[in-house]
């Protein structure tokens, strides 16, 4: 049974044990060094996905952002929820946890959409995960004429978005 908990000092040991691997090293560093401070400062809310053994299977961070798009010859800024981090511990990879976590995040975003205006979901994908977001969740690559504020360390990542329908 998976549990989802907001990051806090109580999970210090579990956070220290979390490992992403070489390609996702920045995700591991963020969780261990910055996530709690960012959460406390309102810069992004981080949630831990815990196993029944209290190990961190993965984590995600969400925050608000905006996308500037030209529509009908006018520039408009649309509200978005950004999935600024999503990582799975290397021990749990290739077992469907990324899909489970992403489905959970999407369900939470749809709950938020009932109370807050939001049109898109935004994320910055590492190259090896682009097809995961495209194939399983219908994310599109952000066109060159769309402007977004970059995430914490989105360099080398592909900006992607999905349109929130009216579920």
- Per-residue pLDDT tens for 34-51? 999 999 999 999 999 999
pTM score > 0.85 for this model? Answer: yes
CATH code, domain with 54? 3.40.630.30
- Tell me the percentage of the chain whose pLDDT exceeds 70: 94
Please report which confidence band the pLDDT of residue 152 belongs to, taking 50, 70 and 90 as the band edges: low
140 in helix, strand or coil?
strand
CA 103 to chain centre: 11
Region 95-122: what's the mean pLDDT?
94
The pLDDT, as a whole number, for residue 39 is 96
CA distance 159 to 143: 9
Q: Which domain holds residue 121?
A: 3-163
In our burial notation (b when 16+ CB lie closer than 10 A, e otherwise), range 39-64 reads beeeebebbbbbbeeeebbbbbbbbe
State how many domains the chain has. Answer: 1
């Amino acid at each position: 049974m998976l549990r989802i908990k907001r990051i806090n000092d109580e999970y210090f040991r579990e956070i220290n044990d979390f490992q992403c691997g070489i390609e996702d090293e920045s995700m591991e560093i963020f969780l261990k060094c910055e996530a709690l401070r960012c959460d406390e400062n309102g810069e992004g809310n981080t949630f831990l996905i815990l196993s029944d053994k209290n190990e961190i299977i993965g984590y995600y961070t969400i925050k608000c952002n905006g996308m500037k798009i030209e529509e009908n010859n006018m520039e408009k800024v649309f509200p978005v929820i950004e999935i600024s981090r999503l990582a799975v511990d290397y021990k749990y990879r290739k077992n469907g946890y990324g899909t489970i976590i992403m489905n959970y995040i999407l369900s939470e975003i749809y709950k938020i959409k009932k109370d807050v205006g939001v049109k898109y979901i935004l994320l910055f994908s590492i190259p090896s995960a682009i097809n995961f977001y495209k194939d399983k969740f219908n994310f599109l690559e952000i066109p060159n004429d769309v402007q977004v504020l970059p995430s914490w360390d989105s360099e080398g990542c592909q900006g992607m978005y999905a349109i929130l329908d009216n579920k």
